[in-house]
Structure 1
């Protein structure tokens, strides 16, 4: 950590299987809505969590973090174990009266190759995060800064946006919202998403084009 703070109050699990990055990359080419449809419309996060860095999509492996509202000690510590392609998925108790994330953490994430951040809570420094090009989804925005006391957990299952997120699950976000795919289902959901995409493209082919309407 670049901050100096005791971490005794944190419970840390640093070892879990990350998903195949090729599978994540292939799924990332599809809209979140299509992925959600392919897995029976399950795993979709609450719509209160929305993109605050407009136009930036995310995809990667879940690194789950549980923190007390308005406290970011666990987030700082999690970055010590984070790997390129991870997405920080943070349960901050849905509290939006104090931010637990901001531009300094954003710069640290970019330096670590973090693929995005999802916060069931609040962030701040929206303009700076957007300039960094870091995809951030959050429940709210608040200029009030965080504490650094803990407690918290890292690398253990958390609830975020009403969805249980386990370490190593796949997560995808775009302007429609966020969907989580359990790690054991990623390959299956990729196949189902490809099939769903083909089916929808077949339907689109049946829609009369503007040229055909003019000729008619």
Structure 2
């Protein structure tokens, strides 16, 4: 019996930690670009921390009723160091899914952070302790602890499908989801882009950044350059 809607899946097939560590320091924008700009969560899920946040970890997924966090508590107990708890609360803003106490507990467990498609509470305290949390906003209204929900099934968070074990990278720009079967390829390509960007920045300050592509693109797309006086006469 599958018990859809109220079930916990035991999942231990995490990506090699050395590969996960490789994403540290790589901007979400670079990672997103190599995945066709398709795997970034909706902009409404933002960091509640001070600027400069950057986290990388393995997704432990939770699907919960928008007003309830029972399964989030269970996920906290199940989580292993290096996990990021990713919560599908349907984007509803009615009840906070977690608060300060859950962040302190997560910190002692080695949990990297929370991603919440919904609201949280105790925003100031969480920002002050600087435990990584990304959410849609805040509300003082607390959650119930009744269920139902699911742990370690495929969820939707910020309009992106997230499977248990996918790699999450989040920073001030937002959150990207890297499918676990593609992590090594995405890592290599992301590192290449990061290297190229450093070279471009160097060329900018050396005043030799090649800008010919701009006019070449405009010409190819049929853009016309018109004399100012000829334009006015029309």
Equivalent-residue separation in structure 1 for 2:195 and 2:128 (angstroms): 36
TM-score normalised to structure 2 length: 0.82
Deviations 1:62-84 (A, max 9, x none): 00000001210000011221100
How many pairs are equivalent?
202
Match of 2:160 among 154, 160, 163: 163
The structure with the larger Rg is 2
Match of 2:169 among 168, 172, 180: 172
Equivalent-residue separation in structure 2 for 1:102 and 1:20 (angstroms): 30
Equivalent-residue separation in structure 2 for 1:110 and 1:180 (angstroms): 22
Match of 1:181 among 174, 178, 182: 178
- Give the drift of 1:203: 2.1
Match of 1:142 in 2: 139
Equivalent-residue separation in structure 2 for 1:118 and 1:102 (angstroms): 13
Q: What stretches of structure 2 of length at least 5 have no aligned partner?
A: 208-234
Match of 1:36 in 2: 32
Q: How does 1:120-139 map to 2 (within 5 A)?
A: 120-139=117-136
Deviations 1:90-145 (A, max 9, x none): 00010112101101111111111100100000000112212333100001111111
Match of 2:79 among 59, 63, 82: 82
- Give the drift of 1:168: 0.3
Match of 1:98 in 2: 95
Structure showing greater relative contact order (alpha-carbon pairs closer than 8 Å, 6 or more residues apart): 1
- Give the drift of 1:202: 2.5
Equivalent-residue separation in structure 1 for 2:49 and 2:21 (angstroms): 21
TM-score normalised to structure 1 length: 0.89
| Aligned-pair Cα RMSD in Å | 1.4
Q: What stretches of structure 1 of length at least 5 have no aligned partner?
A: 1-8, 211-216
Match of 2:47 among 51, 62, 65: 51
